[in-house]
Amino acid sequence: MESWNTPLPARLPVQPDRLKLYDTASQSVRHPGNLAEASLYVCGITPYDATHLGHANTYVTFDLLSRYWRACGLPVTYVQNVTDVDDPLLERATATGVDWRDLAAEQTELFRSDMEALNVLAPDHYVGATETVDWVVASVEALVANGTAYPVPGAGSEPDGDIYFSIDAAQEATHWTLGSVGRHSAEEMATVFPERGGDPDRPGKRHPLDPLLWRVARPGEPTWEGRSLGTGRPGWHIECSAIARRLLPAPFTVQGGGSDLRFPHHEFSAAHATAADGQPLAQAFVHAGMVGLDGEKMSKSLGNLVLVSRLRSQGVEPVAIRTALLSNHYRDDWDWTPELMTRSMDRVARWRRALELQEPGDGAALLAAAHRALSDDLDAPAALAQVDRWADEALARDDRNPAGLGPDGASGTQAADVDPSSPDVRAAVNGLLGLTL
Smallest gap, in angstroms, from Cβ of residue 305 to ligand 5CA?
Answer: 9
The 8-class DSSP code of residue 261 comes to G
CA distances, 196 to each of 147, 155, 180, 181, 217 (Å): 26, 22, 18, 17, 22
Q: Residue 43 interacts with Zn ion (CB under 5 A)? A: yes
CB of 43 to Zn ion, least distance (A): 3
Closest CB to ligand 5CA among 306 and 394?
306
Closer residue to ligand 5CA (CB): 72 or 290:
290
Nearest residue to the partner Zn ion, using Cβ: 43
Binding range to ligand 5CA, per CB under 6 A, among 44-52, 183-191, 337-345, 368-376: 44-52
240 binds Zn ion (CB under 5 A): yes
Angle separating helix axes 318-326 and 53-71, nearest 10 degrees: 80
Contact of 423 with 358, CB cutoff 8 Å:
no
Considering the rule CB under 6 A, would residue 54 count as an interface residue with ligand 5CA? yes
298 belongs to the binding site for ligand 5CA (CB under 6 A): yes
182 or 423, CB closer to ligand 5CA? Answer: 182
Q: How far apart are CA 407 and CA 401, in angstroms?
A: 10
Contact 364, 428 (CB under 8 A): yes
Task: Determine whether 379 is exposed, middle or buried from the number of CB atoms within 10 Å of its CB (0-12, 13-18, 19+).
Answer: middle
> Is the Cβ of residue 121 or residue 240 nearer to Zn ion in the bound state?
240
Q: How far is the CB of 267 from ligand 5CA (least distance, A)?
A: 13
CB of 57 to ligand 5CA, least distance (A): 5
User: Dihedral (C-alpha) 165, 123, 73, 418: value to the nearest 10 degrees?
Assistant: -150
Q: Which stretch binds ligand 5CA (CB under 6 A): 20-28, 288-296, 324-332, 362-370?
A: 288-296
Instruction: For residue 351, give Cα distances in angstroms to 37, 358, 429, 434.
Output: 33, 10, 10, 14
Nearer to ligand 5CA, 23 or 362 (CB): 23
Select from 136-144, 207-215, 257-265, 401-409 the region that touches ligand 5CA (CB under 6 A).
257-265
- The interface region with ligand 5CA, picked from 40-48, 115-123, 130-138, 306-314 by CB under 6 A, is 40-48
Cβ of 5: how many Cβ atoms within 10 Å? 10
Q: Cβ(286)–Cβ(256) under 8 Å?
A: yes
CA distance readout (Å), 159 to 90, 200, 410: 19, 17, 83
Could you say whether residue 290 binds ligand 5CA (CB under 6 A)? yes
When asked if residue 391 is in the footprint of ligand 5CA (CB under 6 A), the reply is no
Q: 137: Cβ–Cβ under 8 A, 6 or more apart, which residues?
A: 214, 224, 226, 227, 229
Of 32 and 264, nearer to Zn ion (C-beta) is 264
With 0-12 / 13-18 / 19 or more C-beta atoms within 10 angstroms meaning exposed / middle / buried, residue 233 is: buried
Helical H segments across 41-184, by residue range: 53-71, 87-96, 100-117, 133-145, 167-173
Show contacts with ligand 5CA in window 72-111 (CB under 6 A).
81, 83
Distance CA 69, CA 18 (A): 10
Contact with ligand 5CA (CB under 6 A) among 21, 118, 127, 261 = 261
Binding site partner of 61, from ligand 5CA, Zn ion, none, Cβ cut-off 5-8 A by kind: none
Binding residues for Zn ion, rule: CB under 5 A, are 43, 240
Binding residues for ligand 5CA, rule: CB under 6 A, are 43-46, 54-55, 57-58, 81, 83, 240, 257-258, 260-261, 288, 290-291, 297-299
